Structure 1
Amino acid sequence: MINIENLENEIKKGVIDNSYIFCGLDEQLIKEGIELIKSKVVEPGFEDLNYIKLDGSTTTFDEIMNACETIPFMGEKKVVLVYRANFLKDKTDSTDKKTYGEMSTYLKDMPSYTVLIMYYLFNDKRETPKKNRKLITLGKNCKIVHSEKLKKDKYYKKVEEVFKNQGKEIGKNELRYFSEKVQNNFDIIKREVDKLINYTYGREIQKNDIDKLIPNKSEDDIFDLVDFIAQKKIENAIDLMDELLFKADQHMLIIVSIENHFKRLYEVKVLMLNGKKLDQIVSYLKLHPYVCEKTMAQCNRFSIKQLQQLMKICLETERKIKSSSIDKQTEMELMLFKTFMVNK
């Protein structure tokens, strides 16, 4: 298994494998890694003939095999890309399991003139290649490329390039502040840069502009946790809760943050049910439009009754931890399990 930086070094040395599987959270970085391979393998001007793209969510094994078996036109090699190949995910339905089994066998005897590239995106930041049994198996016959977070200096430089490509300069201190505050995902970074540029049109970017538009990472974690509760993803929620407690051993702070998030959802839900639109809710609750839009989308996962019960569970847990010497970690995990029992 290698990362994008290792891949770049291999390609510079002219080392190209017969097949690759990319995985990670950042689709933009994955696409850039794929472009490195494609530009080295496919002759300029022959992309339409020797670069075949298939949608991994709908394609079949026969379509992939036929694309791989077709001899390249006016060139030594061709590239077949299967994007968003969800049959590579660890847990799939019977159809995807069948496709995975057929691909596992086919990768052992690929035609030498084809470079097959497949990729899939992780569901969340706690997923890793080592947890995926399929990747471990396929790694025996295929190069696995994990699109990891970039190291700090390289990350800052790449974020700066996003601003420059949009024709906007940003100061070094503001660049670092933005880079540390935004989620480390270049699909998201490009959207946030675009918002920031539009917001500061005609003037320099200041730190308070970044604060207004970009939520704190701790707020993002709480948002993700509530999303896991809504989707009843118990393991993901417990993993994230453990991560939050590891980063900041402040049980009361985390409970209050979760409770406040449910309160905000409740307020927004009531306004939505009373026919209020985005701009009206923004004005009433003094929220940033982007934050309000995300909150409204999450509201759709809950009913009013559900949110009332969830707030009550948080309050009960808060009182128990304040008034007794019970194990705080156990009590918070119990709180999570109670939230999963709440139905619409």
Structure 2
Amino acid sequence: MFDSLNLEKELKLKKIHSKYILCGNDENSIKGAVEKIKNIALNKDFEELNYTEIDGANLTLPQLINACETLPFMSEKRMVLIYRASFLKDHGDKAEEGRFKEIKEYIKNIPQECVLIMYYIFDNPREKESLKVKGLNKLAHVIKFEKLKGKSLEKKVEELFAERKVDISKSELAIFCNLVDTNLDILENEVEKLCTYAWDRKITRTDIQLLVTQKNENDIFNLVDYISQKKPDMAIDILDELIFKGEMITGILRMIQRQFKLLLNIKIGATQGKSKEVLSKELKLHPYICEKMISQSKKFTLKSIRNAIEKCLDTEKMLKSTSTNAKTEMELLIITVTTLL
């Protein structure tokens, strides 16, 4: 089993395999890896004719065979993506167990001109790869997407700055790593943002504090995303983590309010036909963050976003005017907003 850094090194050398299984907590990083593999495997001009996506929840063996055994058109390879492949998780229902056995047998001999990728997302940050996936390690190239940390994180970030020929000291590097989310796509975007801003001079602490999107902002994004998925228990887990890290509850509430206000502006802007570039400029958001929020806004209606903002304001008044348990009120807010969707 490999990690995302090993995969990245291989892709930089344009090396790809015929079968991949990707798993982890961060679907954005996994989707980014899929896109990189696709760019190497397929001719851009004929991509639509040689690329198939199938929802893992509805996959059938005949469907997989048809997708994999269709000959590539004007290309050496074709690519098949099975997303949200829940049959790769342990303890599935009978249908998923049967689907897994059929697919496990079939992928032993898929055509050499086909690149097959299957991925599934962990249900929580503490989840490990399934026993099924471990058992497929000899049949496919298995990649686990874990958050970078410690020395491995610092080394990776140092490489990103070095690739762009921009200097950063050890102390500034440590500050950057402490602040930024460890998602590889976010790391690259934050490094690119700093390098563009600093141009040909050394990165300073002021640059980092001014420009870097901090971890807690991404936590709030995920918290709101779990609300959109009607998973209040997962949203409350993030709330608990933020409190454990020392965030004040009033500060968390303000960040949630800000997230919903941004979603409201993005939703309204999108209905007016505004592009990502225009919204990014108007709302002073990094294009990558803006793109993520545009996707998130699609999970809400205008009414549900306005209701969420109203409930946030009600909770703020409650926290300021009574001696109620603040954490309980925040949990009630999350549950209430989820039920309004």
Q: Same fold (TM over 0.5)?
A: yes
Is the 1:107–1:142 Cα contact (8 Å) retained in structure 2? no
Sort the Cα spacing of 1:227 and 1:150 in 2 relative to 1 into closer, same or farther, 3 A: closer
Is the 1:29–1:147 Cα contact (8 Å) retained in structure 2? no
Counterpart CA distance in 1 for 2:211 and 2:64 is 44
Sort the Cα spacing of 1:163 and 1:326 in 2 relative to 1 into closer, same or farther, 3 A: same
Match of 1:88 among 56, 60, 85: 85
Counterpart CA distance in 2 for 1:331 and 1:185 is 31
Deviation sequence 1:116-138 (CA, Å, 0-9, x none): 985525378737335xxxx3345
Is the 1:28–1:187 Cα contact (8 Å) retained in structure 2? no
Sort the Cα spacing of 1:225 and 1:340 in 2 relative to 1 into closer, same or farther, 3 A: same
Q: Paired residue for 1:177?
A: 175
Counterpart CA distance in 1 for 2:171 and 2:333 is 41
Q: Paired residue for 1:62?
A: 65
Match of 2:131 among 128, 132, 136: 136
Counterpart CA distance in 1 for 2:252 and 2:164 is 38
Is the 1:84–1:121 Cα contact (8 Å) retained in structure 2? no
Q: Paired residue for 2:125?
A: 126
Q: Paired residue for 2:16?
A: none
List runs of 5+ in structure 1 lacking aligned partners: 9-18, 35-52, 68-79
Aligned residue for 1:129, secondary structure, equals coil
Q: Paired residue for 1:75?
A: none
Sort the Cα spacing of 1:172 and 1:309 in 2 relative to 1 into closer, same or farther, 3 A: same
Q: Paired residue for 2:242?
A: 244
Cα drift, residue 330 of structure 1: 3.2
Sort the Cα spacing of 1:268 and 1:181 in 2 relative to 1 into closer, same or farther, 3 A: same
Within 5 A, what are the aligned runs for 1:259-270? 259-266=257-264
Sort the Cα spacing of 1:175 and 1:121 in 2 relative to 1 into closer, same or farther, 3 A: farther
Is the 1:61–1:99 Cα contact (8 Å) retained in structure 2? no
> Superposition RMSD on alpha carbons, in Å?
5.1
Is the 2:269–2:279 Cα contact (8 Å) retained in structure 1? yes
Within 5 A, what are the aligned runs for 1:85-164? 85-86=82-83, 88-89=85-86, 101-105=98-102, 107=104, 110=108, 119-120=118-119, 122=121, 126=125, 128-129=127-128, 135-140=130-135, 142=137, 146-164=144-162
Aligned length: 300
Q: Paired residue for 2:210?
A: 212
Counterpart CA distance in 2 for 1:210 and 1:319 is 34
Sort the Cα spacing of 1:295 and 1:319 in 2 relative to 1 into closer, same or farther, 3 A: farther
Is the 2:88–2:100 Cα contact (8 Å) retained in structure 1? no
AA in 1 matched with 2:336: K
Q: Paired residue for 1:255?
A: 253
Sort the Cα spacing of 1:263 and 1:295 in 2 relative to 1 into closer, same or farther, 3 A: farther
Q: Paired residue for 1:43?
A: none
AA in 2 matched with 1:317: T
Counterpart CA distance in 1 for 2:276 and 2:249 is 33
Q: Paired residue for 1:334?
A: 332
Percent same amino acid at aligned positions? 29
Is the 1:54–1:82 Cα contact (8 Å) retained in structure 2? yes
Deviation sequence 1:54-110 (CA, Å, 0-9, x none): 86637944268879xxxxxxxxxxxx9987532533699xxxx96873442564694
Cα drift, residue 222 of structure 1: 1.3
Q: TM-score, normalised by structure 2?
A: 0.64
Cα drift, residue 179 of structure 1: 2.6
Deviation sequence 1:216-248 (CA, Å, 0-9, x none): 111111122223323433343233223223333
Is the 1:265–1:295 Cα contact (8 Å) retained in structure 2? no
AA in 2 matched with 1:129: K
Q: Paired residue for 2:197?
A: 199
Counterpart CA distance in 2 for 1:201 and 1:246 is 37
AA in 2 matched with 1:153: K
Deviation sequence 1:275-296 (CA, Å, 0-9, x none): 87777767766x3453883586
Q: TM-score, normalised by structure 1?
A: 0.63
Cα drift, residue 23 of structure 1: 1.6
Cα drift, residue 153 of structure 1: 1.3
Q: Paired residue for 1:189?
A: 187
AA in 2 matched with 1:126: P
Q: Paired residue for 1:228?
A: 226
Cα drift, residue 339 of structure 1: 0.7
Aligned residue for 1:332, secondary structure, equals helix
AA in 1 matched with 2:250: M
Aligned residue for 2:54, secondary structure, equals coil
Is the 1:156–1:175 Cα contact (8 Å) retained in structure 2? yes
After superposing the two structures, state which structure 1 stretch, 268-277 or 307-316, moved more. Answer: 268-277
